[in-house]
């Protein structure tokens, strides 16, 4: 029941939001994707195993929906109530826009080691993905990437900034 209410609410919000939603962020990412392998030093044959295919980006509904970030506790990747509420909204928006594909970015605050934060960011993105998949979103529409502690929203070193940086973002592709 609660879910239906959220769904209805989300749909209203999505309809009202119209084009005001967050735009996809193709410029830099597309550039990089287009040069896969070519931007590494020197030349080299790519003996890469199982390369991820580069999926063409279809703008379509991408401009019409807005997906919100979720946040995590320090050194955690479980979803709290706020995150679940937000994820349900995001899921509803994705249900409503079946051609939209997303990439979920997992991020950490700067504390701790860079290598472990990379894994932690991955788990945060995967936790969000698993929720969406359980909700009914096709897994083929979702890719994940961890940026670890490399892309903070707020680079200052205090509790407030750290809380902002421990997040998953939903990047419309």
Partner 1 sequence: MRPSANAHISAGERACAGAPTSAKRPVLSLIPAAAVTALAALAVAALILTPALTALLLLPPDAAAQTDVRLRVTAQGRAAIRIGFLEPEKEIADDMAGYHEEFLEILKDDLEMSGYFELVEDPGKGEPHALVGTMTGPRGSELSFDVNLVDRVSGQSIFRRKYAAETDRIGMAAHVVADDIVYALTGRQGIANTQMAFVAGKKGEASLYTVHIDGSGLERITQTPSIVMTPSWSPDATRIAYVSYASGDPAVYVTDLEDRTTVRFSAFQGMNGMPAWSPDGSRIALTLSKDGNPEVYVISVDGKTRKRLTRYSGIDCSPTWAPNGFELAFTSDRTGYPQIYAVDMEGLSPRRITYEGSYNTSPAWSPEGDLIAYVSRIDGRFQICTVDPFGITTSILTEEGDNEYPNWSPDGMHIIYSSQAGSKSGIYIMNRDGSGKRRIYKDLVNPRSPAWSAQPRQAKVEPLED
| 123 near partner 1, rule: CB under 8 A | yes
Tell me which stretch binds partner 1 (CB under 8 A): 4-12, 17-25, 60-68, 145-153: 145-153
| 126 near partner 1, rule: CB under 8 A | yes
- Residue 21 has phi, psi (to 5 degrees) of -70, 170
- Min. distance of Cβ 52 from partner 1 in angstroms? 5
The terminus-to-terminus CA distance of the chain in angstroms comes to: 31
Residues with Cβ within 8 Å of residue 74, at least 6 apart in sequence = 109, 111, 162, 166
d(CA 165, CA 108): 6
| 134 near partner 1, rule: CB under 8 A | no
Tell me which stretch binds partner 1 (CB under 8 A): 4-12, 81-89, 111-119, 163-171: 111-119
Candidate residues 2, 4, 44, 159; the one interacting with partner 1 per rule CB under 8 A: 44
| 138 near partner 1, rule: CB under 8 A | no
- Min. distance of Cβ 36 from partner 1 in angstroms? 4
| 109 near partner 1, rule: CB under 8 A | no
d(CA 1, CA 9): 12
| 25 near partner 1, rule: CB under 8 A | no
- Beta partners for residue 172, in sequence order: 102
Edge-to-edge strand list for the sheet holding 167-172 = 70-71, 167-172, 102-107, 142-148
Residue with tokens 């410029």: 27
Which residue ranges make up the site for partner 1 (CB under 8 A)?
29, 32-33, 35-37, 39-52, 75, 111-116, 118-120, 122-123, 126, 143-152, 155
């Amino acid at each position: 029941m609660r879910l239906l209410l959220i769904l209805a609410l989300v749909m209203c919000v999505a309809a009202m939001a119209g084009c005001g939603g967050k735009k996809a962020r193709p410029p830099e990412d597309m550039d990089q994707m287009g040069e896969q392998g070519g931007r590494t030093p020197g030349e080299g044959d790519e003996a890469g195993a199982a390369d991820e295919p580069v999926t063409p980006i279809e703008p379509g509904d991408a401009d019409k929906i807005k997906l919100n970030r979720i946040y995590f506790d320090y050194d955690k990747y479980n979803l709290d109530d706020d995150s679940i509420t937000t994820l349900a909204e995001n899921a509803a928006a994705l249900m409503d826009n079946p051609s939209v594909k997303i990439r979920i970015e997992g991020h950490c605050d700067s504390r701790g080691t860079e290598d472990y934060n990379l894994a932690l960011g991955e788990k945060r993105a995967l936790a969000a993905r698993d929720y969406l998949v359980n909700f009914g979103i096709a897994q083929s529409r979702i890719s994940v990437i961890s940026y670890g502690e490399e892309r903070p929203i707020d680079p200052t070193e205090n509790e407030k900034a750290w809380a902002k940086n421990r997040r998953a973002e939903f990047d419309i592709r």
